[in-house]
Amino acid sequence: MHIPIVTFRLPNGLFVTLSEDHTAPIVAVNLWYHVGSANERPGRTGFAHLFEHMLFQGSADVEANEHFELVQRAGGTLNGSTWLERTNYFETLPSNQLELALWLESNRMGRLLPAMTQQKLDTQRDVVMNERRWSMDNQPYGTWMEKLPALCFPETHPFHHSLIGSMEDLAAASLDDIAQFFATYYTPDNAVLTIAGDFEPREARQMIEKHFAAIPRGKGKPPLPDMSLPTVFGQWKRDVVPDDVMLPRLFLAFRSPVFGSDEYYAASVCGAALGLRNGSRLRRRLVRERQIAAEAAAFTYDLAKGADLLVVDVMARPGVAAEQLEQEVAYEIDQVVRDGFNATEVERAIALIQTMFVSSMQEAGERADKLSLFATYFGSPERLNEEVDRYASVSTDRVNAFVQERLGENNRASLVYIPRDDAPGELVGAGAAAATQ
């Protein structure tokens, strides 16, 4: 599988990737701004995400709520999302509507501020506060999304604080903040634009120049503080959270190599070998054979700076206490550290990753998003075409070298949820006393 890729840069710094595919009359427009919650200043947690909401509130030539309406009227789908290091905005439309998406994106990149009002900010603040309640505060285990990074990154590190933000900080956000954030980060030289699907490249390039070329370059963004971290935590960190839940659940995190590095691919395969689908080590051992866990999974955060996280997520079976759950998970991890994965486990993991990857490339929106990702983090969307080979070349030895280096007791962070009724029971020396089998 080889995806055609053409790139160029406008004089104002906007980096553009084009990827043609004419199998269906569909086109995806995808814009990544290189700003996320990591760029927030103290006292403004959640602002990058609140700002993302404001980008759907119209711009100088687009009425409030018209953004969604115009795209949907055109037969398109759209959304945006905020992550620690980036914010993205995307539309998939019938291919004859390409220019509509480019115009909308350029209008909010170049002419956003006249549309910003206190009333819109107040409403979106309420919407985001409800999003917080819905996804975290009123959802069992929901707070893991802010507690895990808080546990794994030092307090001064840009990845430490909450992405959705505290209610207090959300309440403090002002229109001045909007103007400042917009001027600093929403500039063409801090963005990449990708078009994937059914379009004519010359025509697309003309449209891009017409709509984006006049938007002035930014004045540069404040540098992030030094984000580098030691390769391991240096200890076994632990946070125990009593919550309104019925079953204990453990998030066991390991500091791991940054997204896109050679070692990252070994970490990613390790995650799949541990927790992707039913044949993975933890599902087989803890869910199928020993029946300690009701569910088990593993994933990476895919952070490109400082350090990434590999996370194992295991839910206890009824009757299994949090202490036992943590001990049993640790026991399985210790076994992997001691004996390594065998070649079959690694082949299985890579085969599943490859099928998932090819499946995801069927969608224009997904192709565009991945091209934007590699363009934003590495200036090289062409890396998308290397993914299959990079995964295929991960050897069992490399996965086991990663395991040796990163899954030991000096690089673990346990975020343990316990049913509130069980509190304040204490977890004593859980991980250290692993081998009970």
Partner 1 sequence: MTAPAIPPAIPKAERPTPSAPREYQFPRFERRRLENGVQLVVAPVAKLPLVTVAVLFDAGAVCDAAGREGTAQLVAKLLLEGTESSDGAELTERFERLGASVDAQADWDAAAVTLTALSEHLPAAFDLLGEVIRTPAFRVREVERLKAERLAELLQLRTEPRGLADELFARFLYASASRYSRPEGGDEQSIEALDRDQLVSFYESQYQPSGTTVIVAGDISADRAEELTHHALGEWVGGTARRITADDKPARSARGVHIIAKPDAPQSELRLGHVGIPRNHPDFFPVNVMNAVLGGLFNSRINMNLREAHGYTYGAFSGFEWRRQAGPFVVSTAVRSDITDAAAGEVLKEIDRIRSEAISPDELSLATSYLDGVFPIRFETTASIAAALSVLVLHGLPEDYYDRYRSHVRAITREQILDAAQRHLHPEMLQMVVVGDPGVIRDPLAAMNFGTVILYDTLGQPSP
Interaction residues for partner 1, span 396-425 (CB under 8 A): none
Residue from 20, 239, 302, 363 touching partner 1 (CB under 8 A): that is: 363
- Per CB under 8 A, contacts with partner 1 among 371-400 are none
For the window 96-125, what string marks contact with partner 1 as x by the rule CB under 8 A?
Answer: xx-xx-xx--xx--xx-xx-x-x---xxxx
Measured from the CB atom, is 237 or 284 closer to partner 1?
A: 284
- Per CB under 8 A, contacts with partner 1 among 146-185 are 175-176, 178-179, 183
Residue 198 beta carbon to partner 1: minimum distance, rounded to whole angstroms: 7
Residue 136 beta carbon to partner 1: minimum distance, rounded to whole angstroms: 10
For the window 30-59, what string marks contact with partner 1 as x by the rule CB under 8 A?
Answer: ------------------------------
Contact 178, 61 (CB under 8 A): no
Half-sphere exposure at residue 229, Cβ-oriented, CA atoms within 13 angstroms: 27
The DSSP code for 174 is -
In 3-state terms the chain splits into helix, strand, coil percentages (rounded to 5) of 45, 20, 35
Residue 413 beta carbon to partner 1: minimum distance, rounded to whole angstroms: 24
Measured from the CB atom, is 288 or 338 closer to partner 1?
A: 288
Contact 422, 363 (CB under 8 A): no
Measured from the CB atom, is 131 or 239 closer to partner 1?
A: 131
Residue 231 beta carbon to partner 1: minimum distance, rounded to whole angstroms: 31
Residue 90 beta carbon to partner 1: minimum distance, rounded to whole angstroms: 12
Q: Which positions ≥6 away from 15 have C-beta within 8 Å? A: 7, 9, 191, 192, 193, 375, 379
- Per CB under 8 A, contacts with partner 1 among 264-323 are 277-279, 284, 287-289, 291, 294, 315, 317-318
174, exposed or middle or buried, with CB in 10 Å at 0-12, 13-18, 19+? exposed
Contact 297, 378 (CB under 8 A): no
Residue from 364, 371, 394, 413 touching partner 1 (CB under 8 A): that is: 364
SS3 121: helix
Structure tokens at 184: 């600093």
Residue 435 beta carbon to partner 1: minimum distance, rounded to whole angstroms: 23
Residue 26 binds to partner 1 (criterion: CB under 8 A): yes
C-alpha 54/C-alpha 125 separation (Å) is 9
Residue 23 beta carbon to partner 1: minimum distance, rounded to whole angstroms: 5
C-alpha 78/C-alpha 350 separation (Å) is 31
User: How many residues make contact with partner 1 (CB under 8 A)?
Assistant: 93
Measured from the CB atom, is 38 or 50 closer to partner 1?
A: 50
State the SS3 of 262-321.
HHHHHHHHHHHHHHCCCCCHHHHHHHHHCCCEEEEEEEECCCCCCCEEEEEEEEECCCCC
Measured from the CB atom, is 367 or 406 closer to partner 1?
A: 367
Measured from the CB atom, is 127 or 224 closer to partner 1?
A: 127
Contact 12, 213 (CB under 8 A): yes
DSSP-derived pairing of the beta strands 191-197 and 15-20: parallel
- Per CB under 8 A, contacts with partner 1 among 317-356 are 317-318, 344, 347-348, 351-352, 354-356
**Which of 7, 375, 385, 19 is closest to 197 using CA atoms?**
19
Residue 80 binds to partner 1 (criterion: CB under 8 A): no
Measured from the CB atom, is 354 or 380 closer to partner 1?
A: 354
**Which of 180, 190, 43, 46 is closest to 112 using CA atoms?**
180
Measured from the CB atom, is 133 or 338 closer to partner 1?
A: 133
- Per CB under 8 A, contacts with partner 1 among 181-220 are 183, 198, 210-211, 214-216
Measured from the CB atom, is 309 or 415 closer to partner 1?
A: 415
